[in-house]
Amino acid sequence: MDETTDQVVRSSLAFGNHNIYGLDNGRVVGYDNAHGYHHRHFKETVESINLISFEDIEAWFQRDWLALRDET
């Protein structure tokens, strides 16, 4: 986080498991801001997200991987 502006300048959270998803180095779900915008990876889809805070990203990431855990 850039403490002078309170903005997230770089982020990356990922959960990988080749048994669930074999492509993208096994990344099943992830959030990052590579390529100049914040986005969510879920298996083969990538969607733009509106970032509010890093705490939101953590909450969204936790929600996603807990849902995956409950599917198995």
How does pLDDT run across 21-58, given as a tens digit for each residue? 888 888 899 999 888 899 999 998 999 998 778 888 89
Question: Is the confidence at residue 7, as pLDDT, over 70?
Answer: no
Sequence-distant (≥ 6) Cβ neighbours of residue 68 within 8 angstroms:
15, 20, 28, 29
DSSP state for residue 1 in the 8-state scheme: -
**Would you list the DSSP string of 5-69?**
TTB----EEEEE-TTT--SGGGEEEEEE-GGGS-EEEETTEEEE-----HHHHHHHHHHHHHHHH
